[in-house]
Amino acid sequence: MNVIGPQIRRLREQNHMTQEELTARCHLFGWNISRGTLAKIESQVRRVTDSEVALMAEALKVEISELYEDVE
């Protein structure tokens, strides 16, 4: 299940980043993710593994717990 997709989108937009910019940051941390995959994550179509959550938090420069804020 993917409960963090909307929070990823919110944080990305809050930081004035495009999906392409965020995927480029993910690549810097060793996660070879495409813009299409990020779109699927943000729309909660694709599952996210624990290791991917950690990499996403690094790319967004947030604590992992921030990805789970406002999750109902």
Task: Write the single-letter amino acid at 72.
Answer: E
> Is 18 within the bounds of a domain?
yes
Q: What is residue 14's predicted lDDT score, i.e. its pLDDT?
A: 96
> Is 53 within the bounds of a domain?
yes
> Is 72 within the bounds of a domain?
no
| CATH code assigned at 50 | 1.10.260.40
**Containing structural domain, residue 38:** 5-67
> Is 62 within the bounds of a domain?
yes
The more confidently predicted of residues 1 and 41 is: 41
> Lowest-confidence range among 8-12, 50-54, 60-64, 67-71?
67-71
DSSP designation for 22:
H
Q: Are 11 and 66 in contact (CB under 8 A)?
A: yes
Number of domains in the chain: 1
* pTM of the entire predicted model: 0.93
